[in-house]
Amino acid sequence: MKITKICCIGAGYVGGPTMAVIAQKCPHIQVTVVDLNEQRIKDWNDPNTDNIPIYEPGLSEIVSEARGRNLFFSTEVEKAIDEAQVIFISVNTPTKTYGKGKGMAADLKYIELCARQIAKVAKQNKIVVEKSTLPVRTAEAIKSILDNTGNGVQFQILSNPEFLAEGTAVTDLLNPDRILIGGDTTPEGEEAINALVDVYANWVSKDKILTTNVWSSELSKLTANAFLAQRISSINAMSELCEKTGADVSEVAKAIGMDSRIGPKFLKASVGFGGSCFQKDILNLVYIAKSYGLNEVADYWEQVIIMNDHQKRRFSNKIVQTLYNTVADKKIAFLGWAFKKDTNDTRESAAIYVADDLINEQAKISVYDPKVSRNKMLSDLDYLETRSDEANSKALSIFDNAYEACKSAHAIAILTEWDEFTTYDWQKIYDSMHKPAFLFDGRNILDAKHLESIGFIYKAIGS
């Protein structure tokens, strides 16, 4: 089967960048990204590609090249489904906030809605690709819905999970470690797998394209995120022990990272991991394990989340303790609100929870982040429902630059490792601060000795 038309349902952090790269690398394939959110589609179609809804280095240039040629963004969902041979499902799968599995299981209502819409619209055979992160055996439910339409259309369900790191998504798409495609082992399933392999083979060498059965593919995504998050929680656990014993966690991380069996990645002590995937996927893994009666397995992975929550609380507690056990009416400057550098995504960012703790202690929070808007910061705090929206607005001040955010502050908390923070005139910042001034660097992006030389009392987790 030769693929000439692709549709992607969902114009978010995965669907938008992935389809943009496919369109750029496959000019012979028409790629249409659809979403019911009219404003999001309008933003993707903004003539100024710097205003597209997702910030990723290099993404605006790719969108600019392909959009209008063979890349289209539309709200005409049914039309795109009808025309496409391959339909990617790339919608949100949040953690359930209700019913059975509340707080752990993935909420699959948007996935089911997509399947029902595809079943309703499709008039010819289709390949349906799971791009969203899903619990193992979700493909079974999708296939059940699609195969019971009664209209005679044949569907093949493939699992093609994304392995993108926000901030490097474009690089990850252009030069992936691997492309994973899972499908049925039937002749029809193999044909569908090969059709998708041929799409990626336009720019990815075939030795990097791994094919498996559907269940292995679905579970591999959850497992990859669980292993990465586990490393972060492990080094953060050691950072607390290092503080008590006088060891330097950066030196410990370097020493163990030189072991070829361990490697250096994801061994940087921090305030804790954030983002849309790690916590959600581990909680989903915990729920799946419990549903099969694997309680010891569930407890093992749940500890990764417990350690991560502890690290965030420990960081905010350290700020309070250092500022003489009270931050009431004191100005604490936050540099960074996004969960990591080079993205405007704030989902599960440590900054949200540290700010929430400090506002509970009646601190005044001033924030500068180069890519996150005031409205997003306030909505993040409002979502926690800890206090009224009005109280959050009074406690949080957002600035257009770091110098204003830090002026007259009692302390600075660096919560995102934006590269620009390393270029600042720190003497100027220090001179503008309330004395004594404190720095809390949860990301280890600055040199402690340099900061001490200009008068900071350096207090940091993992430094």
96 is catalytic: no
Residue 435 CB-density burial (10 A; 0-12 exposed, 13-18 middle, 19+ buried): exposed
Question: Rounded to whole angstroms, how far apart are CA atoms 279 and 172?
Answer: 21
**162 noted as active-site residue:** yes
Say which of 56, 162, 218, 243 is annotated catalytic.
162
End-to-end distance of the chain based on CA atoms, in angstroms? 55
The question of whether 277 is a catalytic residue gets the answer yes
- Are the beta carbons of 23 and 107 closer than 8 angstroms? no
**For the sheet containing 364-368, what is the strand order?**
396-398, 364-368, 331-335, 411-414, 438-441, 457-459
Give the pair of three-digit tokens for residue 295: 């309680």
Nearest to 314 by CA among 283, 368, 357, 352: 357
| Active-site position among 96, 126, 131, 221 | 221
Q: How far apart are CA 38 and CA 34, in angstroms?
A: 10
Q: Which of 26, 114, 242, 277 is catalytic?
A: 277
- Is residue 134 within 8 Å of residue 222, measured between CB atoms? no
Contact criterion met (CB below 8 Å) for 337 and 366? no
Question: Which tokens go with 401?
Answer: 């630059």
Give, in degrees to the nearest 5, the angle at Cα 127 between 213 and 111.
80
Q: Is 76 helix (H, G, I), strand (E, B) or coil?
A: coil
Helix (H, G, I), strand (E, B) or coil at 158: strand
130 near 216, Cβ under 8 Å?
Answer: no
Contact 247, 241 (CB under 8 A): yes
* Positions marked catalytic: 162, 221, 277
